[in-house]
Amino acid sequence: MLAAGIPISETLLAVSESTTHIGFSAVIRDLKMNVEAGISLDVSLSRHPKVFSSQIINLVKAGEYSGNLPVACEDISLHLEWVEKILAEIKQASIYPITILIAVMGLVMLMFMFVVPRFNEIFISLDLELPLLTRIVVDIGNFTTQYWWLMLALPLAVFSFLKYAPRYSPSIAWKLDRLILNLPVFGNLNRMLQQSRFCHNLGLLLKSGIPILDALSLCKDLVTNQVMKKAVSEAEAAVNEGKQMTDVLGKHDIISPIVLRMMMVGEKTGQLEDTMEHASQRFDKEIPRLIKQVFSIIEPLIMITLIAIVGIIGGAVFLPMFSLMSGV
């Protein structure tokens, strides 16, 4: 609407009337009131930090100062579409494995809580000497039956720890993020996601006319991994001292050699924003393919695990029967 020449106050009014979210509509109406009162759009946005990120606010600010607010809004829209696309790819690829994993965990709990104890009663009544495998499975079944609440609470406790502990302990956050990057299957995917986020944000900020030092400062707050955050922070300090940021980023293994080489060329030629855009486009092609590969590996692993657990329980149940039959 801005590109069509419609005044910003009328544009905000149209947006507030077209959205179906009551809370967001109220926010847009507040923006309209502020703009009509003579307050710039970026300052108006900054009054709603829970709705608009610092990246969006600064991109709008750069668009206002350069007179290219419609272009800035379009860049923001494309970026948000990219984020939504990546999240949709991950959700779509993870629905089936997560469903199977929950079913497997439920099945295992039922077998240990109901099936194994029933056979254990039979073994006790027959006064059989149980093999080692059977004794282990029976002990697990007894533990599961007696402490079923602990089996349910443990995943919740682990989830709560992983979610909230990094917020209050930078040391835990660093160790967890480093561990995630070194995981056998998910580590490479997470590295690519972090690099893609950095390249997208840096290229978008530079393209909007934001200076490199300010762009790095914003990117530092936009990346989610503490290892990447430290690398960007050190790159910001290096640029502030008049050095090349690639000299610092090259010391961190989270940046791939290909991306680092592209950034070095961009710095030397003065076209870093174009280089970042090319790098982000490369990730846009590789990440969806890698997501499918990762979750295609997880599915057979879950099935193999299920078969192994059922096989172990079956063996533990039938071994005493075979010994009883051979004795007869």
Per-residue pLDDT of the chain (328 residues; tens, 9 = 90+): 888 888 889 999 999 988 889 999 999 999 999 999 999 898 999 999 889 987 788 788 878 877 788 888 888 888 788 888 888 877 877 787 778 878 877 887 787 777 777 777 777 777 777 788 888 888 887 887 788 788 778 888 888 888 888 888 888 888 888 888 888 878 888 888 888 888 888 888 888 778 888 888 888 877 778 888 888 898 889 888 888 888 888 888 888 888 888 888 888 888 888 888 888 888 888 888 888 787 778 778 888 888 888 888 888 777 777 766 665 4
Report phi then psi at 136, rounded to 5.
-65, -45
Confidence at residue 304, expressed as pLDDT on a 0 to 100 scale = 86
Structure token pair of residue 190 = 């997470």
| Burial group, residue 72, by CB count within 10 angstroms (0-12, 13-18, 19+) | buried
Q: How far apart (Å, rounded) are the C-alpha atoms in residues 184 and 155? A: 22
Among candidates 203, 192, 213, which has minimal Cα distance to 274?
203
Report field, pTM of the whole predicted structure over 0.85: no
pLDDT score at 45: 92
- What the block records as the tokens of 85 is 């696309």
Residue 96 tokens, joined: 């089936």
Q: For the residues of 97-112, what is the DSSP string, one character each?
A: HHHHHHHHHHHHHHII
CA gap 25, 18 in Å, rounded = 8
Longest dimension (CA), the chain: 96
Please give the pLDDT value at position 326: 62
Nearest to 109 by CA among 117, 119, 121: 117
The superfamily (CATH) of domain 69-328 is Type II secretion system (T2SS), domain F (1.20.81.30)
Where does CATH 1.20.81.30 sit in the chain? 69-328
CB 260 within 8 A of CB 200: no
Q: Which of 182, 195, 207 is nearest to 283 (CA)?
A: 195
Q: Give me the pLDDT at residue 327, please.
A: 54
User: Residue 25: what pLDDT?
Assistant: 92
Enumerate the H helices of 225-271 as residue ranges: 226-240, 245-249, 257-269
pLDDT score for 34: 92
Alpha helices in 111-225 (DSSP H): 116-126, 132-146, 148-168, 170-181, 186-207, 212-222
